[in-house]
Amino acid sequence: MFTSEIRNVSGSEVRRIDCTVRIAYKEDVDHAMQVIKEELAKLPYVLREPEPAIWTEQLADSSVNLKVLTWLPIDDWDEVGPVLVKVVKNALDKAGIEIPFPQRTIWYGDTPKKF
């Protein structure tokens, strides 16, 4: 600890909150990112500066994972997490963008079986 750098995040006026959003491989990544950006712009507690950031984080087993980062006043940080995820999910649902769940195909003999 004596040689480590200590960072006080509570000393700042703003904090970042981030979440990972998974979309199906068949979806248009750019369109999904635009839908999320437009929805974030409607939220009064999301700061315009620094601007929210969204990028493709990972090509995962069952989804393309998008990373969503937003900045907000420190006083709103505790309440924003659940609201942010809900708003993003509702926006993707409204736009018809699929949020997938993991699926496996198991081969038994010559016939594939989905579970």
The tens digit of pLDDT for each residue in 30-89 reads 999 999 999 999 988 888 888 999 999 999 988 999 999 999 887 776 777 778 889 999
Task: Tell whether the model's pLDDT for residue 99 goes beyond 80.
Answer: yes
CATH class of 12-114: alpha beta
pTM to 2 decimal places: 0.77
Task: Out of 16-20, 33-37, 94-98, pick the least confident.
Answer: 16-20
Instruction: Give the C-alpha separation, 77 to 45, whole Å.
Output: 9
Residue 83 has a pLDDT of: 86
